[in-house]
A and B are shown apart, each in its own frame.
Chain A
């Protein structure tokens, strides 16, 4: 067992733990914080099922962003949808036997890398060249795009240019799950790719990537517009009521 294998095995456990624990903590924080007032951005659905439909539209076609800016929408959608396909395709490295639908997705997932990279490039171009977006960008906003692009490029290199020993790699990951480690192939591109992914996993719960769980908790999108029909009172607000004349 090489040092590299041991280091990466440990890093993957640590990164996964950080990702899960701290993201779960954030989700718990969002869930626990009350929404004392009804603040859906109207016109808003008046039923629960209407809200589900609104959320599905936000999550799949980025409805609000589409209303705002067609370029940002296009690049953002290309990136996110590309990333989704790429991630689903990656399931083949973690499952044995590989599920049928993952096999089916394989060719789409491979080429989705280009869509994802094109989207990221477009988003970065906006960040660099549109004065308003440049103004609101911190160094971390640029670096986040750079990180994602680097992950995408190293991944695509391995898919299309310089293959790694994918059988050994899969054995490494299955070994991680079984706590029975197998050696990790010593390819430079793979090592870079995995290092960046580990970095991303660690950054996730402390960064703006929290928009992924956050969007589900946004009161302006997930509340039902029925304040006149149903009285809505948060916990701390109702305590106010009992301590006062109602």
Chain B
């Protein structure tokens, strides 16, 4: 089905808060999941007859299970602090994309059925019956939230619209109105192990091809091990890293880093996906099932550490939730955090002087860096708060001579979502994705014009896919988005067939003393 036509928003010199245009995005809806996929995840195949009762009951169940939801529904005072913070509002001007208005789609139903004033005086307090129109609005606007948490930074009570979107999606799944993109993908991971549905042979083949490519280019045999028992490190990375551009160049970067540091590592065909779409649909159970695959793979392969590749929401689930969902990880080496981010590994190795880097290899680029929303606002790197901002920047400044930050309101904790996160990276939502990218595009244009920035680095599979898709709409080139580890890969100087590398990556004792440092 062809996407409806729409106009790409104009990039303005200074960001201006737009005036409201009601209903302009009401038509934006992702495809509904087919019964087959719904049922695989344990949800009704299609909208159940008594959907209203089921939804209201589910709502009550969720407020009892999640303190966040209960507190957030009661606490909002409608101060308006969040109203101009969502990239989807800024890009679409639809008032229901203001975080508080999005929450209110949920809150008005909560008030109607679960609060006294809402039962007695619904009109007075903005409470509303759950009707088909309301459900329609839910389906539309809770799939216009990328769960990026920017609104929660600015809310005086820390209300996080992501929590409410997740609850709304869980309720919609429970009544049989799930989203095709997310639920199909989750189904694939449960069966095959990754979002793309790449089975083991295809994966092995791809990795072999990569080994050949890298050897051809560098003259060095850099390995991309798969299912190697006894390796020290299990690397879990978004499956887009196996084939998409520029993701794959990031994967090559990880391999070169491990190669040069002499760390034995492996990928797993069973846990070949870092992303955990269970979070997007607010399903603790699905999220847990997906996370357990990683635990099982780590146990099965007998690794000592788990390292995650470049992915945003994945890193949130990994950093913030993995220990909860699939822990305790007492079978791993306690001298490393579980899990680690690939940037933490690379940064540590740089500090120890274990990587030979030539930043002039990246001299053809002026780099800026896009903080991925869920890395910035839902996780950490290193042992200090804010390490998630500093560590990637320190790596970039080490591997590039020309680095510039985008305007301060658009980076670090104030970073704008790419426009494709939270289960929205699907072609049926292209209008939303293009419009939602506007704030980031404006910030980027700013440094392109003022500092001659040529490329933007990112370390999230969704960000990378999203930007390569929407850049052309804003007159940038697709390849102006690069992987952070792609720049590391460019800069790393490999010694062709050095003596010390003769038994490189053979799993076992060989690398241990180097690694223990």
Residues of A near any B CB (own CB < 8 A): 26, 29-30, 33-39, 41-46, 50, 58, 62, 64-65, 67-69, 72, 76, 123, 126-127, 130-133, 135-141, 143, 206-208, 210-211, 214-215, 217-221, 225, 227-229, 231-233, 236-237, 240, 245
Contacts and interface: CB of A to CB of B under 8 A. Distances in A.
A68 B154 contact: yes
B84 A41 contact: no
B324 A133 contact: no
B517 interface: no
Given A33-B63, A218-B157, A231-B328, A41 B377 contact: yes
Contact of B380 (A127, A141, A211, A225): A225
Question: By CB atoms of chain A within 10 A, which of B72, B77, B98 has the most?
Answer: B77
Interface stretch (B120-128, B138-146, B199-207): B120-128
A42 B319 CA distance: 12
Contacts of B285: 240
B173 interface: no
A26 B380 CA distance: 33
A208 B386 contact: no
B100 A206 contact: no
A225 B385 contact: yes
A135 B101 contact: yes
A219 B378 CA distance: 12
B504 interface: no
A41 B85 contact: no
A211 B76 contact: yes
B70 A220 contact: no
Contact of B378 (A30, A42, A58, A245): A42
Question: By CB atoms of chain A within 10 A, which of B284, B323, B389 has the most?
Answer: B323
A68 to B, nearest CB: 4
Nearest to A227: B320
Contacts of B388: 42-43
16 contacts: A30-B71, A33-B63, A34-B65, A37-B284, A39-B378, A42-B379, A46-B380, A64-B155, A67-B153, A126-B80, A135-B101, A208-B74, A210-B74, A217-B67, A219-B68, A237-B288
Contacts of A227: 319-321, 323-324
Contacts of A228: 319, 323, 337-339
A5 B146 CA distance: 57
What's the dominant secondary structure at chain A's contact region? helix
Contacts of B377: 41-42
B153 A64 contact: yes
Contacts of B380: 42-44, 46, 225
B44 interface: no
B126 A72 contact: no
A45 B81 CA distance: 23
A206 B116 contact: yes
B67 A34 contact: yes
The 10 nearest A-B residue pairs measured at CB: A138-B126, A214-B75, A68-B154, A220-B158, A43-B385, A133-B80, A68-B81, A33-B67, A132-B83, A221-B158
Question: By CB atoms of chain B within 10 A, which of A29, A34, A132, A240 has the most?
Answer: A132
B391 to A, nearest CB: 12
A33 B167 CA distance: 15
Interface in B453-492: none
Contact of A211 (B64, B65, B77, B284): B77
A228 to B, nearest CB: 5
B149 interface: yes
Contacts of A43: 380, 385-386, 388-389, 413
A140 B71 contact: no
Contact of A64 (B17, B117, B154): B154
Contacts of A68: 81-82, 85, 154-156
Contacts of B383: 46
B321 A136 contact: no
Interface in B336-386: 337-339, 376-380, 383-386
A78 to B, nearest CB: 13
B390 to A, nearest CB: 10
B230 interface: no
A65 B323 contact: no
Interface in B150-165: 152-160, 163
Given A36-B65, A208-B74, A208-B78, A140 B125 contact: yes
B134 interface: no
B327 A231 contact: yes
B135 to A, nearest CB: 21
A140 B117 contact: yes
Contacts of B100: 136
Nearest to A64: B156
Contact of B320 (A30, A39, A130): A39
B499 interface: no
Interface string B84-109: 11000000000100101100100000
A237 B324 contact: yes
B70 A72 contact: no
Contacts of B378: 39, 41-42
Contacts of A231: 323-324, 327-328
Given A26-B74, A39-B378, A136-B101, A65 B81 contact: yes
A133 B17 CA distance: 13
B331 interface: no
B115 interface: yes
Given A132-B84, A135-B98, A140 B126 contact: yes
Given A37-B320, A68-B81, 18 more contacts: A33-B70, A35-B66, A37-B284, A39-B320, A43-B385, A64-B154, A65-B154, A68-B154, A76-B79, A136-B104, A138-B124, A139-B126, A141-B126, A215-B75, A218-B71, A228-B337, A231-B323, A232-B323
